[in-house]
Chain A
Amino acid sequence: MVTLYPVKLINIITNDSMEERLVAMFKKYGVSGYTILRVGGEGSSGLQSEMTGFDSNILVKVILPPERMEPILESLERKLRKGYHLTVYIVDVQVITPGKFVKPLR
């Protein structure tokens, strides 16, 4: 029986122009890694057609131990208050290699 360890998965959907800022923020708060997908969709900031690159969205995924989450969520909240369009949702997930999500990126 493989042991499963509970961790958190933060998902952020936003415009791709936000990528650099989010990555800098992740590094600042010591996440161990992140994944970015290019996505399309439609919502409060209108259509993201994904057709030509100037209106495409990204879906950013970060897995981290629960105790590391707070500063990142606070930072995201500050961005939201300033008017940035971010869709943030957190999911409980389980991993088999918890150590992988502890060592901060440089």
Chain B
Amino acid sequence: MSSLSSLLLPAVLFFALGVIARVIKSDLRFPPDLAKVLSIYLLMAIGLHGGYALAKADMMIAMNSILWALVLGFTLPVIGYLILLATRKVSPLDAAAISAHYGSVSAGTFLTAIAYLDNIGVPHETYPLIMLAVMESPAIIVGLLLAAKARQLIAAQEANSPSGGAVTMGDDDGNGEHNHSSFGALLRDAFTNGSVVILIGSMIIGAISMPSGMAKLFPFIDDIFTGVLCLFLFEMGMVAAKRIGDFRQVGWVLALFGIVMPLIGGVIGAYVGHSILGFSVGGATLVAVLGASASYIAVPPAMRLAVPEANPSFYLTLSLGITFPFNVVVGIPLYHSLVQAMAA
């Protein structure tokens, strides 16, 4: 019932315009790094807003939200990994790298969901925002563990086959040159990731700033927010359309995974948000969106470093070319309807 209103959201229409611009081979090109600037602004604005609201929030619910964000972040990749292995279409290492993306979150999708809810006048809690910040990182850890598991799997297979090619695992660059690439360093990278720093930093600033100071900031973080989101999605549309070309290379089974996995994550997220955390329809919809979305900022570089054997075009195409557009256009209203049905 509300699906049409999502499609007619200016931000979503701009996303479509970005896709069209690519399809008709327009020479339109945003300056490099614009999307980075825009996402810094978006994260900062949403963080300040959330921090301001959270200062008045219930600490118990906040802690509970964090706990469940961790549960989601750790569980979803495992589900994705098992599904991918069952398809037998990708190597275990590709499966590990891809599924890590689905445990993490996409701030762009989350912000579009907020714009969607605001547009149809559905109020929502601010707790999902902390969950957004928390969920950036755990999936990276699970991805690393799954990759370690996958390597064992492959090694076992190779040991069984007489031809067993040379497995050159381990043995880093000898003498500590790779010190900073150890597991601990990757963890540090995961938690000091740029978007996590902006989001959590802005939330703290929003929470401890004087209200009079915050009032002066509201024009900056409120009035122009939707416009910036439109610009951001405009560019994301172009990025996604560029990736859709790789669709054939990925194959239809994997492409299907890019749609089925967000649905699974969305249902689990809706259940956690509605039934476990007891959020309103708006809040639970946001948790569903967190469960459904796949990372394209924090996880890809981490997987490149930690699971170099996996093919980056698989996970980037899935997360940017398939799951992101699916969530923005179809997913968000769908999860909203789902939560409405659960609440009814």
Contact A51 B180 (CB under 8 A): no
Contact A46 B305 (CB under 8 A): no
B21-45 vs A, CB cutoff 8 Å, 1 = contact: the mask equals: 0000000001011011000000000
B302-321 vs A, CB cutoff 8 Å, 1 = contact: the mask equals: 10110011011100110000
Q: Is B214 an interface residue (CB 8 A)?
A: no
Residue of A nearest to B171 (CB): A78
Contact B246 A78 (CB under 8 A): no
Contact A49 B242 (CB under 8 A): yes
A53's partner among B36, B242, B249 (CB-CB below 8 A) is B36
B239's partner among A25, A45, A49 (CB-CB below 8 A) is A49
Q: Is A28 an interface residue (CB 8 A)?
A: yes
Q: Is A106 an interface residue (CB 8 A)?
A: no
- The answer to whether residues A78 and B173 also contact, given A15-B304, A46-B246, A54-B297 and a CB cut-off of 8 A, is yes
Q: Is B136 an interface residue (CB 8 A)?
A: no
A58-79 vs B, CB cutoff 8 Å, 1 = contact: the mask equals: 0000000000000000010011
Contact B178 A21 (CB under 8 A): yes
Contacting residues, chain B, for A52 (C-beta < 8 A): 35-36, 235-236, 239
Kindly provide the distance from the CB of B308 to the nearest chain A CB, expressed in whole angstroms: 4
Greatest chain B CB density within 10 A among A16, A25, A45 is at: A45
- The answer to whether residues A20 and B313 also contact, given A25-B173, A47-B246, A51-B238 and a CB cut-off of 8 A, is no
Kindly provide the distance from the CB of A26 to the nearest chain B CB, expressed in whole angstroms: 10
Contact A46 B312 (CB under 8 A): yes
> In chain A between 1 and 57, which residues have their CB closer than 8 angstroms to a CB of chain B?
15-18, 20-21, 24-25, 28, 38, 45-47, 49-55
B305's partner among A17, A51, A53 (CB-CB below 8 A) is A17
Contact A15 B36 (CB under 8 A): no
Contact A83 B308 (CB under 8 A): yes
Kindly provide the distance from the CB of B149 to the nearest chain A CB, expressed in whole angstroms: 16
Q: Count contacts between A and B, CB distance < 8 Å.
A: 82
Contact A51 B171 (CB under 8 A): no
Contact A54 B308 (CB under 8 A): no
The range of chain A's interface size is: 20 to 34
> In chain B between 212 and 259, which residues have their CB closer than 8 angstroms to a CB of chain A?
235-236, 238-239, 242-243, 245-246, 249
- The answer to whether residues A54 and B242 also contact, given A24-B177, A45-B312, A78-B171 and a CB cut-off of 8 A, is no
The secondary-structure label for the interface of chain A is mixed
Contact B304 A17 (CB under 8 A): yes
Kindly provide the distance from the CB of A37 to the nearest chain B CB, expressed in whole angstroms: 13
Kindly provide the distance from the CB of A87 to the nearest chain B CB, expressed in whole angstroms: 14
C-alpha gap A47/B240 in the complex (Å): 12
Residue of B nearest to A52 (CB): B35
Kindly provide the distance from the CB of B165 to the nearest chain A CB, expressed in whole angstroms: 12
Q: Is B301 an interface residue (CB 8 A)?
A: yes
Kindly provide the distance from the CB of B229 to the nearest chain A CB, expressed in whole angstroms: 15
Greatest chain A CB density within 10 A among B174, B296, B304, B305 is at: B304
Contact B317 A51 (CB under 8 A): no
B300's partner among A28, A38, A54, A81 (CB-CB below 8 A) is A54
Kindly provide the distance from the CB of B217 to the nearest chain A CB, expressed in whole angstroms: 26
Contact A75 B173 (CB under 8 A): yes
C-alpha gap A54/B296 in the complex (Å): 7
Kindly provide the distance from the CB of A10 to the nearest chain B CB, expressed in whole angstroms: 16
C-alpha gap A81/B173 in the complex (Å): 11
C-alpha gap A54/B205 in the complex (Å): 27
C-alpha gap A28/B313 in the complex (Å): 32
Kindly provide the distance from the CB of B257 to the nearest chain A CB, expressed in whole angstroms: 17
Contact B309 A18 (CB under 8 A): no
Can you name 18 extra interface pairs (CB under 8 A) apart from A18-B305, A47-B246, A54-B297?
A: A15-B304, A15-B312, A17-B305, A18-B304, A21-B305, A24-B177, A24-B180, A45-B311, A46-B246, A46-B249, A47-B242, A51-B32, A52-B235, A53-B35, A55-B312, A75-B177, A78-B171, A85-B308
* 9 A–B contacts from the bound complex (CB under 8 Å): A46-B246, A46-B316, A51-B32, A51-B239, A53-B35, A75-B177, A78-B171, A78-B173, A83-B308
